[in-house]
Amino acid sequence: MGSNRTITIAPVRKSVVVRADPARAFEVFTAGLDRWWPKSVGISASPIKESIIEPFVGGRWYTKCEDGSEVSPGHVTVWDPPRRVVFSWEINSNWKPDTSTPSEVEVAFIEEGAGHTRVSLEHRLFERLGQQGGEKMRGEVDNGWPKLLALFAAEVDRPAA
């Protein structure tokens, strides 16, 4: 086969059911990102002050840091409220910003009836980081996304102020 053999690394798939319609779940996930995304989960040296997803294709998903810097872990590639959002994950296996090997995250918001929505996340294309880097990143996000989705679900369940 030689060295040009194509590697494939399985996507990470996680989901959570929240007590909200798809429109509210989508709003909390995107516009409300700063309310649930932990200030400790960032790729910058400085602590995160605010996390933002710009609501359009090509929009940045970025963090404003306490030192005034901005770091962008990705860009919106599909903006389809309230059904789904897809963004690039421009972070390499050493958790540094890197636009050359983006993996991809798709989040779908599926109505489950009786005021519930299944939020289904797929993080894929790890093979772009190479075998070793891709498997490292996959293992880390496989452990990370369930914690983040739990924080998201808790924010959805919080009564509106």
Which CATH number fits the domain that encloses residue 143? 3.30.530.20
142 lies in a domain? Answer: yes
What is the arithmetic mean of pLDDT over 111-137? 96
91 lies in a domain? Answer: yes
pLDDT of residue 45: 78
Residue type, 55: P
Count of domains forming the chain: 1
Tens-place pLDDT, residues 70-91: 988 899 999 999 999 999 999 9
67 lies in a domain? Answer: no
Q: For residues 89 and 103, is the Cβ–Cβ distance under 8 A? A: yes
126 lies in a domain? Answer: yes
What is the arithmetic mean of pLDDT over 46-61? 94
71 lies in a domain? Answer: no
Give residue 145's pLDDT band: very low, low, confident or very high (50, 70, 90): very high
Whole domain around residue 31: which residue ranges? 12-41+80-157
Q: How far is CA 6 from CA 38, 107, 134, in A?
A: 35, 26, 13
Which letter, b or e, does each residue of 84-122 get, where b requires 16 or more Cβ atoms within 10 Å of its Cβ? bbbbbbbbbbeeeebeebbbbbbbbbeeeeeeebebbbb
Read off the pTM: 0.92
2 lies in a domain? Answer: no
Q: Which residues contact 131 (CB under 8 A, 6 or more apart)?
A: 7, 9
69 lies in a domain? Answer: no
Give residue 1's pLDDT band: very low, low, confident or very high (50, 70, 90): very low
Q: Which residues contact 145 (CB under 8 A, 6 or more apart)?
A: 12, 14, 121, 123
60 lies in a domain? Answer: no
List the one residue out of 75, 135, 83, 130 whose CA is nearest residue 99: 75
Strand, helix or coil for residue 137: helix
